[in-house]
Homo-oligomer: A and B are copies of this chain.
Amino acid sequence: MAAQRKTVTLLEVNSTIRNMKLPAKGVLVSRAAEITQELQQGVPKPFKAVISVHFGDGHAMGMKPITFIRQVMAACFYPELLDSEQLPDDVRSRAKIQLQKCDGGSIGSYCDSSGLLHVRQSVSRYIERRDGGVPCDPGDIYITGGAQRALQLVLKMLVHSEGHSKTGVLVPVPSYIRFNNAVEEQGGVMLPYHLSEEQSWELEIEELQRALRTARGQKCSPRVLYVINPGNPTGQVQSRKSIEEVIRFAAEEKLFLMADEVYQDNVFGDDCEFLSYKKVLFEMGPEYFHSVELTSFNSISKGFAGECGFRCGYLEFVNLDPQVRRYAQQVNSVECCPPTPGQIILDTLMNPPLPGEPSYPSFTAERQASLDTLAHNARLAERTLNSVPGISYVPVQAAMYCFPRIHMPSRAVQRAQAQGLAPDLFYCLRLLEETGVAAGPGSDLGQREGTHHIRFCILIPTEKLQVVLSSLKSFHLKFTQEFS
């Protein structure tokens, strides 16, 4: 036996895994961590702290949790608090009910692989209210450890890399990167369709058609269409007409629709409103409603609560073949079960305090404050970004990101290429070094050839956003000057 000789070398790693693209942003994230350490060690820098806005995580940036939710959770964890004066009455009665629904009265017990039954029921009633009465069966709801896991579950079932008929998945450009990684992980073929930045990031049907045609050359069989509405990173909200077109396209081309609607509660643009794919599908009549296969996704990580760390999301299947559903159940059960704390938070969000209950005023005020901050921040960002020469920006209507286009001097592009870096990553790294702001490069999310973007999160305390925006503005002017 030769020491040091490994059994598993790179060659033995599953080839679909080996073919995955690593997000380039990794370099940036590591560098941000190093800089934080350097600051702690007293290394002088032109800024006091790193501000990480390359991901959508309000809590990490100082947004406050919703008190009611956290109080319910505290009592569920430590039931002696059920008798404590320190918690409002409605919190205690809520927590009692939650505990009664858990096996053995403990949130520490396993639950069914598709989630706690009462939570699935709450979700289905919530969806019915949201969609003005369109029926929703709790049996079609699967609760998962985050929306990302729900996306993975569906891909696992439908996408494969066997033989000549690899599964083709239509994905937007730009997109939510972990979705793309999940497609790669399953060995699927990505069929990118570009959203139109010129048309305020709209989804254009001709572009979907073009993308589908390219599949023919790729020995793959296109089967899934992924849409993100409201958009990440674009912040665009689809109109009813646009959703109808997409549904008709899916019906004609026999595509399984995956509608990622995790930002449904983060819509703040004037004259726009979130319409679920399911509601629109229903209103298109039985011919569509009983045939088009749709799965939609939601998450407690987004909305006004932003509870990312608890990992809880859900999906709803519409029109899934019952035989196929059996397998969904099965694949899901391999994972054991979703974490309970997130499920109880989800249940609480689906059943907020009612008028007259002690926690109603604070809950309502905190929810509004979170949504107001987001809307306010979006306007603030728009004003600043529109005032910077060399940055063009489509104002966002929803979600929690800005995705401005950065016009980079060609000397800067050359310098980046000489260093083997995507130009916008080069830009982001410089921005980080000089201002402490960690934004994400558009090249990770996808963008039209030759264009460059950055993405940053705006669901952060307004004071921090002001620092981000002014840092970006002065950095951009300096950067442009340096490379002109």
Could you list which residues of chain A lie within 8 angstroms of chain B, going by C-beta atoms?
A: 1-10, 12-18, 20, 22, 52, 55, 57, 59-63, 65, 67, 70-71, 73-75, 77-78, 80-81, 84, 86, 102-111, 145-146, 148-149, 152, 156-162, 178, 181-182, 185-186, 223, 251-252, 254-256, 286-287, 290-291, 293, 301, 305-311, 319-321, 323-324, 327, 330-331, 333-342
Contacts and interface: CB of A to CB of B under 8 A. Distances in A.
A8 B331 contact: no
- Nearest first, the 6 closest Cβ-Cβ pairs linking A and B are A60-B103, A60-B109, A74-B78, A309-B340, A59-B106, A59-B109
A184 B3 CA distance: 32
A339 B309 contact: yes
Nearest to A154: B8
23 contacts: A1-B251, A1-B287, A1-B291, A3-B290, A6-B293, A6-B324, A7-B256, A8-B320, A10-B323, A10-B327, A14-B156, A20-B331, A59-B108, A60-B104, A74-B75, A81-B86, A84-B86, A108-B309, A145-B311, A148-B336, A310-B341, A311-B311, A311-B338
Contact of A309 (B22, B55, B60, B107): B107
A86 B55 CA distance: 37
A254 B8 CA distance: 9
Given A6-B293, A106-B309, A148-B336, 14 more contacts: A7-B255, A9-B321, A10-B323, A12-B324, A13-B327, A14-B156, A14-B159, A57-B104, A74-B77, A74-B78, A111-B309, A145-B339, A182-B334, A339-B342
Interface centre among A16, A73, A149, A341 (most CB of B within 10 A): A341
Contacts of A321: 6, 8-10
Count chain B CB atoms within 10 A of each CB in A108, A307, A309 and give the residue with the most.
A108
Contacts of A15: 160, 162
B106 A65 contact: yes
Nearest to A251: B1
Nearest to A87: B78
A73 B5 CA distance: 45
A51 to B, nearest CB: 11
A286 B149 contact: no
Contacts of A149: 335-336
B178 A8 contact: no
Nearest to A7: B254
Nearest to A67: B78
A111 to B, nearest CB: 7
